[in-house]
Structures are given as structure tokens and as C-alpha cells.
Structure 1
Amino acid sequence: MNQIGLQRCLFASLLLSAAISGHAMATPTSPAAVDGARISAADNEPGNWMTTGRTYDEQRYSPLKKINDGNVDKLGLAWSYKLDIDRGVEATPIIVDGVMYTTGPFSIVYALDARDGKLLWKYDPQSDRSRAGEACCDAVNRGVAVWNGKVYVGVLDGRLEAIDAKTGQKVWSVDTRTDPSRSITITGAPRIVKGKVIIGNGGAEFGVRGYITAYDAETGKQDWRFFTVPGDPKEMPKGKGMEIAAKTWFGDNYAKQGGGGTVWDSMSYDPELNLLYIGVGNGSSWNPRIRSEGRGDNLFLSSIVAINPDNGEYVWHYQTTPGDAWDYTATAHIMLVDMEINGKQRKVLMQAPKNGFFYVIDRATGELLSAKNFIPINWATGVDMKTGRPIRNEKVSDYWKDPEKKARLIQPAFWGAHDWQPMSYNPATGLVYIPAHIMSAMYQDVEGAPPRSKFKSIYQLDVNTGMMPEDPEGLRKIADTWTGKLIAWDPVKQEARWEVPYSTIFNGGTLSTAGNLVFEGTANGRVVAYTADKGTKVWESPANTGVMAAPVTYEVDGEQYVTFMAGWGGAFSTFAGALSLQAGVKPNAQVLTYKLGGIAKLPALKDRFADRKPEPPKLTGTTAQIDQGRELFNGSCSQCHGINAISGGVVPDLRTLSKENHERFLGIIYGGRIPDGMPSFQGHLDLQQAEAVHQYLIKRAYDLQDQLAAAKKTASK
């Protein structure tokens, strides 16, 4: 039987199961038969997970409780599925009527039988892999949306595509980019509201102007677009939102650089208020002196914005970090909850963005109800409840105003107190479960306004974050200060109820269930369950890779399952490879699904770079040439291969280039290695610069040889 025939049989059996159980299903013989009414009534069929947050309010809470704190220790692997490419995995799977729809690296879409992981179909959008170097944080994707028999995916190279849920064939494709010359990418999951597929874009670090767009789910025709930062100041701003924002920007450099403000992840929707809430990212450039003459709030950077989904018009906004200068994006998970505050029932919006504060906001009006830092911070001392603005500790935070341009240690640093990894909420405990980061870095103003470049990370050019020494001891000291924790946060009292410490940042998103459980994967390769009320660890299993994505739970044929999308990668493991290594994991992209009494075996990890050793030629570069090579490498190559050429294992460690690759170094630099996502640097690095980079890598290869020899000597004692 072929894959399509298998899927038809699957849906026929599901129809029979639904008839027997008495559960209603919308056009059950049709796959992905999801619409707004079905999502709004998701609690009536808790066995499905029909949108990214399970419900429009994005609480990531499941009413399922067959797996609970009393039996979760019997959880075992039910099935696993190996994804095609071993890079970062960040997707939230969608499960509808027994079929799981999910994504892997480079936006490849998979439809799997949710019972046993059998592949029903696979769709590869053939993302332009030469553009992987223009993506901020690895070739990741956070999942699909489904609607009326179609599956929708945002492709890394900027396309939005619709796929037939039955056959896996493309239905339509649109290019979402406003300017193909800019480094506009997509890593986020689409949301669908009232027949409109809504998607934002990434690329603020590479100089783009942020926006979010709605497309007709049936045809792909653009319905509306909302820009998050103003365009050319010489032109009249269009729409109420841009009229408000334009008054908060100064000069014209932001238009040249793009301004930033990309909507690369979080959204949620309130059907009753008919409001779409979006989280807006950081500025381009980071440095407000360069971006906006050091003045203005720079709306709508680092803001939550409420939009009318019918027409894309601005309704209200709340800016978490006015004049953002630290990459404190507000793109973290946004959730909607109805709760009692001071004796009054309120419709609230909650977010824990990078800046370290937990916000509770009236979602009808944008009024700030409360804010409190959930980790230690030093950039601000609190939030002024009259103005809603953070009270900045300017002696620490305002590095761009220092006439001596001294470096300042700021906490949290650019990956923030909480990044894209989703939090969850449990209505029984009233707690929010936050995967938090504890990290700091040095920020230092740098002279001049750098030219926009699709390969250069802007924060490497206009702000010296100075966080990565080359020597192992210096790296160890930094690694000791970069830790994580799972925080159970009381949003009413604005205080932690319980915490679980972790050895590193970038642990996974969370799932909460009616079984009094919180599930989370960890950066050091585990999947774990805690009791939701007290934080007691009640189950743990190895994952054979780091886990960043948030798990989901679902039910088919009366059996409850828990799925983790597992696979190490993303920003931390690429850019900060030297610190990522402390997690002790390797990329291994896979779907891991558990059930009570599961007896499947975890597949062994195969490290594709395990046998690589340094094979450097003679070092001929001068000290000045090697210093230049280090600067060029960290400005142009570190986003993928790691600062100071220390890879976290997602892409090759260039200190271990083979003899043959050293000999053909210029061919690789100028020809690229497109199947792996390595772009050509033709026109970006001249021959002299390319040779400087090569000499730096040769020097780093000898450094690695010395370290390996020292470690071997120590081990033999």
C-alpha cells in the first residue's frame, strides 16, 4: 500500500473510532479539517493539538490526565522518527485526528501517523540553502499551521507555502519578502485567524524593516500588511500605527539599516475581542546612537502590539523596552488568561520577554497591571506603574552614552531572561512555567555606523559584546555564569512559587497538563516531568541530544502520548559554540513520543564530526594578519561556525579542516558549499581578507592541537 492509500485507511479508521466514542469531528473523512470554530472549542476535543499553543490563547495547557503525577514514572518511548537534517529543532507539532504535522531544519514538513510515527508524506520546500548564512539563528523552523485541509509552512528563504494535507503536494506559494536584496527569513510558525494565514519575518540583525502579513488561506493572496517601524522619513507615514511610531525615531540611518522590529515568533488571538497580539523584535542596529541619534522610544521595537485581524489596523501597544539597546525583543511567548486580580476578574495578556520582567497587561486596552523581574537583573531597577516604563539603571545600561566608551557588564544579555522557548500556564495551580536564562555580557559602544551586510551580524559591528575569550580557562569562567532554571511563577503575586536550576541556558519550552505535570526538555539531553504544584521531579529519560522545543500531548484511540521535538542547534549552539559545548550534546534531529508502558528503544547517536582532527599547514601569517583574520571571522563567519572558530557541533568546527580543505580554502570561500548552507563570499571578502581568515583558522587549529595534547597528558597522569 502506498503512502496516500495508507493515509486514507487511517482516516477511515478514525471516522469509525469517532462514531464509537461519540466525539464530534468536523468533516472527519478529510485530513486537517480545522477551522476557527474548532480551534475555539479545542477543549471539547482535548486529544488534538490543532494550533501552535493548542488554543488561540496559547496557554500550552492540556486537559488530558491519563498520564499524571501518580503514573508518569511508567512513561516509556512509544516511537521515534529520525528527521533528515541534524540541525536545530524548534517545532511545535500539530496533531489532528491521529495525524502529526511537524517540521525539521530547512523547513521540511512531515506528516506522521501519531500512533506509531509511520511517515505518511514528506514535503521539502527546497529552501535556498545558500541563504542559511543570512538567517540569524540556524536553519530552524517552529512548526506549521493547519486549516481546511491544508498545511502551511513558512520557509527559511522567505516563502509562505500551502500544502494539501492529504497528498503532501504544494497548493500555492508566495514570496513574503518586501525587498529580496535584504536578509529576510522565516523561522516562526504561522497562525490562522478567520481564514487568514498570518506570518512575520526575521532578519533584524542583518538590516531589515519589520512587518507582519496576512494572506488568504485558500488562494495565498495578500490581505493586509502591518509594518512595525517607520520607513523613509521623507515620506508621509501610512496608517495610525506608523503615524504614532514615526514621532519616536530620529535621523534617517534607521531607514538605511532597516530599523529592525521583526515579528519572528510570538502571536496570540482573542476571538471575543477580535484582537491579534504580536511580539516585536529588536532594533537594527542595536546601538541607538547609530540607529536613531541616541534618541526616542523607537516604536514599535520590543513591543506588544494589538491589531485588528480583519484589516491589519493598529489598536494599541505596550512597549516593554523603550529605545531598546540590548536586543531585549518582545517576541517571547504571549499568552491570554482570564484571572482574578485584586478581587476583579480581568482579561489579561502575559509575557516574560528578554528584558527580565514578567508583565500582566489588560488585553482589551493595553493597560499595564503589574510587572516584576523574574530573574536578577541590573539594567533596570523596576517598572514605573504610572508610566509603564522601566526604571533604567543608566550607570549600567547606557553604554552608548559613555564618552570613554568603556565596556559595561549588563544582565540579562542578548539572549535575555527568556527567549523564544514557550512557557505554559496551568489553571489549576495558577502558575506560569518559564524556561529562564541567567546570563550577562559586556556591552561597549563602537565608533562609526557599519554598512549593512547580509553576512555581518550587526551586533558584531556596532556593539562590542566582548563575551568570548579564546583561552579555555577564560571560557570556563564565562560558562559558569551562564545558567538556566525552570521557574513556576505566580502572575498574581508576581513571585516564584518554585524553581529548578539547570547547568546552562537554552533549555526547552514547557507543557502543563491536568495530570498535575509540567514537561520540559533540557539543553543537556534529557526529557523531564515535574509536578505542577510543587516542582518535584517525577520522571526523566535521555534524549541523546539537546531539547529546545516545547513538548505537546495528545490522545489517539484512548491512548495519551507526549511528544518532544528533539535536536540541538539554534543561536546558542552556533554563535556561542564554545559555551554550548558545556551542555555535552550533539545535533540529532528526531521526534520522540512517549506513552505509559512504552518499550521502544532510543536510537543511538551518530556524531558526523566525531573523527575530525586538526590537520593545519604551516602557519605563515603575521600577528597583524591573524588579528585581522579574527576580526573578519567573528564579523562574517561566527553566526554559524561560532565565535573564535569554536563550533557547538551543528556545523563543522573550522579548526579541524582537513588537509584537502586547507588546500582548496579559497575555492570553498568563493564557491560556497550550497548543500550544507555555506554561501559564497565572492564580493564580500577580497583575496587579502580571505587569506587573513585562513591564517587565523590555521592558528586556531594549532591552538586546538595544543589543548588536545595537554588534555591527553593530564588524562595519562
Structure 2
Amino acid sequence: MTNTTLFKTVALTASVLLLGACGKTDNSAPKAAQEPASSAIAAVDGARILAADKEPGNWMTHGRTYDEQRYSPLKQINDGNAKQLGLDWYFDFPTNRGIEATPIVVDGVMYVTGSWSMVFALDARSGETLWQYDPQVPTNWAVNLCCDVVNRGVAVWKGNVFVGTLDGRLIALDAEDGSVLWEVKTTPKDKPYSITGAPRVVKGKVVIGNGGSELGVRGYVSAYDAESGEMAWRFYTVPGNPEEEFENPILEKAASTWGGGEWWKAGGGGTVWDSMAYDAELDLLYIGVGNGAPWNRQIRSPDGGDNLFLSSIVALRPDTGEYVWHYQTTPGETWDYTATQHMILADLKIGDQQRKVIMQAPKNGFFYVLDRATGEFISAEKYTKATWASHVDPETGRPVENPEARYTDGKPHLVAPHPAGGHNWHPMSFSPDTGLVYIPAQENLMAYMHDSQYEYDPKSWNVGVNLAAAGLPENDPAVREAFMPTIRGHISAWDPVSQKEVWRVQHPNMWNGGMLSTAGNLLFQGNADGELVAYRADNGESLWSTNAHTGIVAAPISYAVDGEQYIAVAAGWGGVGALSLGEIISDAKGTANNSRVLVYKLGSDKTLPASAVAERALPEPPPLDADEATLTQGHALYMANCHMCHGDRAVSASSVPDLRYMSKEKHAMWDGIVLGGALQAKGMVGFWERLTKEESDAIHAYIIKRAHDVVEAASTGAP
């Protein structure tokens, strides 16, 4: 049987079974969502997503439903039998970089993305490959990414599969065989934009944002016709040059909140790089907006101001992109506190009133509950350590800041959270059974310090923060050892009505995976230590765990085929935490990368292949003959140009090479690699346009020094 024939058999059989159980169409759906699906394969439309609870065996959109609750009504697997879970099948991705995708499962077929924006269609019963598609992203585009060559998944609609690529394309594939139907470039070719987020399809429009704030871009979100690929509308999230015509009247008002400076030269930031949600009854599309470019408002907007719509939730009309309302979580953002984190819609009884709310735990450490019809502030409380503000004023909905947190005096200031956030992109989950939101929270902090040497550079990072001061101290092991235990993560089971934590599961490491809750009173999460764990959703008791042989950062899903419920997760250690945080998380047990889809069901007992752990020989670095001034310069240049891929203090906690262990041959090739781009085919571009030979030599001297540190530590038995 060919893959195509098998595909048709899988999809058509399951489609008949599941569509027959759907019942009547929800008449509250918009007219555009009522149209019948055009294909029996990936036959998803708005009506079907709105009626998702009538066919709980499918996971048809990123958060399963438009409200993005990430809750499965399936309960064959429950708190009474979860310990009987076992591996049923697995699929090996052809790469070993970070995996962040949420699989989509429709009528027995799974659609999932891997690294480098690759797309795979798998038989959801067996894991057999039905087709795969590689968009051939240029490897040299990796230099334009802050956070690994990851992708968070596809959208499916009326027989099509949609994926955004790292180099800014939106591609429509035929769900039957993976052939390209249309392709559009959604970002300018001459700007370092990227796409890592999953598209959403609303009323026949594919909605996609982008990333790249730190590299000097201007944020926006776009909608494309799902059938033709023609752009329907675009909404810019920050104003452009005030001397030019504004694309939208609301941007003129937004421009009045930017004070002084020429922010538009560095783009301003505000990229819409991850979360969205949709309310069909209100006909509102919600987008989350990112940080400023540069981060430091003192540089970006020296006269102050809120800098709209940075760090905001914005409600738009999905037909036109028309602005309806916004709420800004971090006015005058200056810490990389994005509001792109997962947003959840729910109906909650608050006081004596039933409220339609939108909930978010953005990077800044506060959990927000807003009226999703109007944007009215309802409540906000800290869900993790946050020192930048004491509280959010209940009357104004504005934070009451710690003045020193803005680091305007040229001195370093320890501020929590870190730019990695109290919560990053890893999805939350809401259970209507328990009434709790489950947050993959993080505890961290960083020394923020104004960069007095900052100059806008379109080919480099534009943060306006002294990154050398922000990393772990070079020459003070005692400070490092005291600091590192404060960086960790936890599950916070959060009551959004009373705004308090009900229970917590503490993790030893940060950068743990997203959440799934189910009607079986279960909560699933993968973690940095390479485990997938099932907890009781009501009290956090651990019921089952399994060794995934890799750190897990993506969120699990649940689906059913032929009466069997499955738990699936796309596993593979990576992302910005794994790449950039160095020794803070390098001791995580799951830091090896074995990129796979892992699928479990009751009674299965398959095993994963043994995970080969490569033993690293002690480095044999060249002689260290640089003076302290050169090493200090090299450290600063390394942090400004290299640490986002190779880790703080050149400690790699990912599959990207640990530069401390470079071979003699690689040291000899330093200029050819770093300046000449000899390893461009592997994603390591040449930096000849960014670095002088003298600067490259200083970085090399610093790497040689760090290699000698490894040798010295081995000889003394130090960690």
C-alpha cells in the first residue's frame, strides 16, 4: 500500500466515524465558518473547531479550541489508571535541534513540525510517515534568530496545512501529499525577521506574526486568504516614523506614547511571535505583543512614555484587522517583558457576576484577568518572583514600579524576572473541572545595566543592556554558586478567581515544558530533566513518569483513534533557554537532544533505544597569552555576538557545540569559521561584517581562556 493510499484510508475512515458523531452545527458560528469543508482530508473549518467538544478525539487547532484552553475532554486515561501508561510508538525527527511544536491530529492523521520549519504527516495510530516537507530554509538565516531553529506547529483548514518558516514565508501544503499549493513572503527580504510561531486560521484567513525585535524590526501581524494566499490585512503593533503617514489611525494615538528618540530606525520591536486566541461570539481575535527594540526604554524612548502597543494584549476584528481594544501589561517596557505568552479564554464567576475573561501570565511575573469584550482590567497578582513592581493598582490597572528597576543610573540592578520571563512561550492549560490554570512558571533574575556604548547596528543585537554585566560573573565562583540555585521552575496551579496559587510542583531546573489538562483529572508536563509526568490535576500528586531521553519544552496533547486515547508530545531539548543560559541549566538531566514524537497509551510497553551519551575528552587548547584587557573585551564581545547560541560563559546546554571543547583543528580554523563563514552550511555564518580581526581575536582569546578553565577545574576536582 502506498503512503498516499494509506493516507486516504486513514483519513477517510476516521473522518466518517468522527464527523458522524458531531451532531448539529453550532449556529452561533460566523457565516464564513459554516461553509462545508472542501476535502475529506484535514477537513477542518470554523464550525468544526467551535464544535470540537463533540469530537474530543481530534486536536484540530493549536490550543485544541479557539479559546486555547488546552484541555481534553477525553478520560479513558485517568487518575485511576495513569500508572498503566506505556510507550506505544515514536517517530524520530531527522534533526537534533529544539522541538517546540504542538501536534495537530485530525481524523487519525498527525501533522507536526520539527526544526528548520520541516512538516511531517504521520499515521496517528502507528507513527508511520505519510509524507514530509522541507521548506529548505537557508541555514545562514539562523544568525537572525534569537531562540533556536524551532517551530511551534501548523494550522489545518479545508484540506490544507499551513506553516510559517524561519525565513518569513507562509506556505500552504496539500494535506493529502504535502505538495505546495501556494507560498508568500510575509516579511521584508532585507530585514532579519523570522517566524517560529504557529499560524491560526479564523474565518478563512490564516493569521501569522513574526519575531526579531532584538535584531531591529518593527512588529506586525498579517492575515492571508486561506485559499489564494492573498494578503487580506496587516496590523502594525508600533508606530513608524511620525513624519510619514500612519498605516492605521490608531497608530497616530500610539505614537503620542513614544517620547523622543528615533525608535523607528531600530524598528521599535513589538513583534507578534506567538500566542493568539479567538472568540467567535464576540468576533474578536486576540494577539500578544512583544518587547521593545532596543529593550532599554532610556535609549528607545528617552523622554519616557508607555510605548504602545509594546507588551500588550490587543483585540482586533479578524475580517479587517480593525483595532478594538488593548491592555498593556508592562507600560514603558524596558526588561524584554513580552506579552506574547499564552492567552486563555474562559467564562468565570467573579463575585456575583459571570464574566467573559481573557487570562495571561506574561513574562513580567503577574497573572492578569481581563474582560475580553472590553479589555477592562479585572485583577492581577504575582504568580512568581517579580521585583520590578510591587503590585498592580486595582483602580488604574497599572503597575506600581520599583524606581531602581529601570536601571537608568549606569549601575547594575538585580531585577526579577530575567528576560527569559516568569513564564515564557510554553503553553499553560485551564481545566474547567478544577477551575485552575496550570502555569509552567520560572523563578529567575538578572543584573540589568544601561549600555552606555550602545549604537544602533542593523546587523547586530539591539538591546541597550550591558550583556557582559548581565551574565554570570566571570571571576567570582562564589557568587555564581549562590546565584544558580535561585534559577529554577515550577508548576503553579493558579486560581484565577481568587488570584492565588493552590498548589505547586517544584522543579530543580527551569525551561520546563508546556501543560495539558484532561477530564481524567490529569495534568501532563514534560521537563528539563527529560521526563514526561502525569499529575493529579486537583492536587498535583505525581502519578506516573517516563524517561523521554531528552528535555521536553513543548506541550503534550491528547487524542483518540479507534476508541483508544493517546498522550503525545513532541520532544527535543532546545530553545532560547537551552541555548543561552549556559551553566544555569547545563546540569539538567535531559539536556541531550533526541528529537522525537513520543506517543503513549494504556497497556503499551515499547521502549526507546538506548540514548548514547558522548563522552567529551578534556580540551587541548592553544596557549593562553592574552592580557586581562583583551579577555575582558573578548567576554563582552562574546556576550554581544555569540552567547545566544553558544551559552553564557561559553557553556553549551544544547546540541550547539560547546566552544570550550573545540578541537585543535577548529582553533586553527578560527578566522575561517568566525569571519569567513566556513561552517555556514551548518548555520554558523561568517561575522566579517560585524567583527574586525582584532575583535574576533579577542573572542578567540576568551574561548581559549574558558577551555583552560575546564582543564584547571578537572585537575583540581572543582565543578
2:359 to 350, 353, 370: 350
- Report deviation, 1:462: 7.8
The residue type equivalent to 1:121 in the other structure is: W
Partner of 1:73: 83
Aligned alpha-carbon RMSD (Å): 1.9
User: SS of the counterpart of 1:80?
Assistant: strand
User: SS of the counterpart of 1:340?
Assistant: strand
CA distance in structure 2 between the aligned counterparts of 1:696 and 1:426, rounded to whole angstroms: 49
Q: TM-score normalised to the size of structure 1?
A: 0.95
Change (3 A) 1:232 1:634: same
Partner of 1:2: 2
Change (3 A) 1:595 1:28: farther
- Report deviation, 1:647: 1.1
- Report deviation, 1:677: 1.1
The residue type equivalent to 2:99 in the other structure is: V
CA distance in structure 2 between the aligned counterparts of 1:686 and 1:463, rounded to whole angstroms: 19
The residue type equivalent to 1:688 in the other structure is: E
CA distance in structure 2 between the aligned counterparts of 1:21 and 1:399, rounded to whole angstroms: 59
Give matches, 1:233-382, under 5 Å. Answer: 233-382=242-391
Report sequence identity in percent.
Answer: 51
Confirm or deny: 8 A CA contact 2:22 2:54 kept in the other structure.
Answer: no
Q: TM-score normalised to the size of structure 2?
A: 0.95
**In the alignment, does 2:240 pair up with 1:231?**
yes
Partner of 1:39: 49
Partner of 2:70: 60
Confirm or deny: 8 A CA contact 1:186 1:201 kept in the other structure.
Answer: yes
The residue type equivalent to 1:478 in the other structure is: F
Confirm or deny: 8 A CA contact 1:445 1:464 kept in the other structure.
Answer: no
- Which deviates more from structure 2 when the two are superposed, residues 52-61 or residues 244-253? 244-253
Per-residue CA deviations over 1:480-521 (Å, capped at 9, x if unaligned) read 010111011111111111111111111111001100111111
- Report deviation, 1:187: 0.5
Partner of 2:519: 514
- Which deviates more from structure 2 when the two are superposed, residues 328-337 or residues 598-607? 598-607
Give matches, 1:266-665, under 5 Å. Answer: 266-395=275-404, 397-400=405-408, 402=409, 405-456=410-461, 458=463, 461=466, 464-469=469-474, 473-584=478-589, 585-607=591-613, 610-611=615-616, 613-665=618-670
- Report deviation, 1:467: 3.7
Q: Which ranges in structure 1 are unaligned for 5 or more consecutive residues? A: none
Partner of 1:159: 169
The residue type equivalent to 1:35 in the other structure is: D
Confirm or deny: 8 A CA contact 1:443 1:466 kept in the other structure.
Answer: no
Confirm or deny: 8 A CA contact 1:448 1:462 kept in the other structure.
Answer: no
CA distance in structure 2 between the aligned counterparts of 1:113 and 1:161, rounded to whole angstroms: 22
CA distance in structure 2 between the aligned counterparts of 1:198 and 1:334, rounded to whole angstroms: 16
The residue type equivalent to 2:605 in the other structure is: I
Confirm or deny: 8 A CA contact 1:488 1:498 kept in the other structure.
Answer: yes
CA distance in structure 1 between the aligned counterparts of 2:20 and 2:173, rounded to whole angstroms: 31
Partner of 1:132: 142
CA distance in structure 1 between the aligned counterparts of 2:585 and 2:534, rounded to whole angstroms: 23
The residue type equivalent to 1:497 in the other structure is: V
CA distance in structure 2 between the aligned counterparts of 1:546 and 1:185, rounded to whole angstroms: 24
CA distance in structure 1 between the aligned counterparts of 2:464 and 2:498, rounded to whole angstroms: 36
- Report deviation, 1:709: 2.6
Per-residue CA deviations over 1:139-177 (Å, capped at 9, x if unaligned) read 111000001111111101111111111011111111111
- Which deviates more from structure 2 when the two are superposed, residues 159-168 or residues 19-28? 19-28
Confirm or deny: 8 A CA contact 1:49 1:553 kept in the other structure.
Answer: yes
Confirm or deny: 8 A CA contact 1:457 1:639 kept in the other structure.
Answer: no
- Report deviation, 1:679: 1.2
The residue type equivalent to 1:328 in the other structure is: Y
Confirm or deny: 8 A CA contact 2:99 2:553 kept in the other structure.
Answer: yes
- Report deviation, 1:469: 3.3
Change (3 A) 1:598 1:471: farther
Confirm or deny: 8 A CA contact 1:286 1:463 kept in the other structure.
Answer: no
Per-residue CA deviations over 1:79-107 (Å, capped at 9, x if unaligned) read 11111111111110000000000111111
Change (3 A) 1:430 1:658: same
Change (3 A) 1:455 1:605: farther
- Report deviation, 1:191: 0.4
**In the alignment, does 2:134 pair up with 1:109?**
no
Confirm or deny: 8 A CA contact 1:154 1:199 kept in the other structure.
Answer: yes
Partner of 2:201: 192
The residue type equivalent to 1:398 in the other structure is: R
Confirm or deny: 8 A CA contact 2:559 2:565 kept in the other structure.
Answer: yes
Per-residue CA deviations over 1:414-437 (Å, capped at 9, x if unaligned) read 111111111000101111001100
Change (3 A) 1:377 1:15: closer
Per-residue CA deviations over 1:289-340 (Å, capped at 9, x if unaligned) read 1000140000000000000111111100000000011111101100100111
- Which deviates more from structure 2 when the two are superposed, residues 240-249 or residues 14-23? 14-23
Give matches, 1:197-208, under 5 Å. Answer: 197-208=206-217
The residue type equivalent to 2:363 in the other structure is: K
Per-residue CA deviations over 1:562-617 (Å, capped at 9, x if unaligned) read 0011111111111112212121321221111100011110222234x544541312
CA distance in structure 2 between the aligned counterparts of 1:329 and 1:628, rounded to whole angstroms: 30
Confirm or deny: 8 A CA contact 2:103 2:557 kept in the other structure.
Answer: yes
- Report deviation, 1:378: 1.5
Confirm or deny: 8 A CA contact 1:15 1:29 kept in the other structure.
Answer: no
- Which deviates more from structure 2 when the two are superposed, residues 298-307 or residues 30-39? 30-39
- Report deviation, 1:22: 8.5
CA distance in structure 2 between the aligned counterparts of 1:498 and 1:199, rounded to whole angstroms: 35
Confirm or deny: 8 A CA contact 1:23 1:45 kept in the other structure.
Answer: no
Per-residue CA deviations over 1:322-370 (Å, capped at 9, x if unaligned) read 0011111101100100111111111110111111111110000000111
Per-residue CA deviations over 1:521-564 (Å, capped at 9, x if unaligned) read 11111111111111111111111111111100000000000001
Change (3 A) 1:500 1:88: same
2:104 to 94, 104, 109: 94
CA distance in structure 2 between the aligned counterparts of 1:43 and 1:197, rounded to whole angstroms: 23
CA distance in structure 2 between the aligned counterparts of 1:271 and 1:407, rounded to whole angstroms: 47
Per-residue CA deviations over 1:379-400 (Å, capped at 9, x if unaligned) read 11111122110011213x1212
Confirm or deny: 8 A CA contact 2:10 2:107 kept in the other structure.
Answer: no
User: SS of the counterpart of 1:458?
Assistant: coil
Change (3 A) 1:457 1:479: farther
- Report deviation, 1:132: 0.8
The residue type equivalent to 2:331 in the other structure is: P
- Report deviation, 1:20: 8.8
The residue type equivalent to 1:469 in the other structure is: E
- Report deviation, 1:661: 1.1
Change (3 A) 1:19 1:319: closer
Partner of 2:699: 693
CA distance in structure 2 between the aligned counterparts of 1:195 and 1:540, rounded to whole angstroms: 40
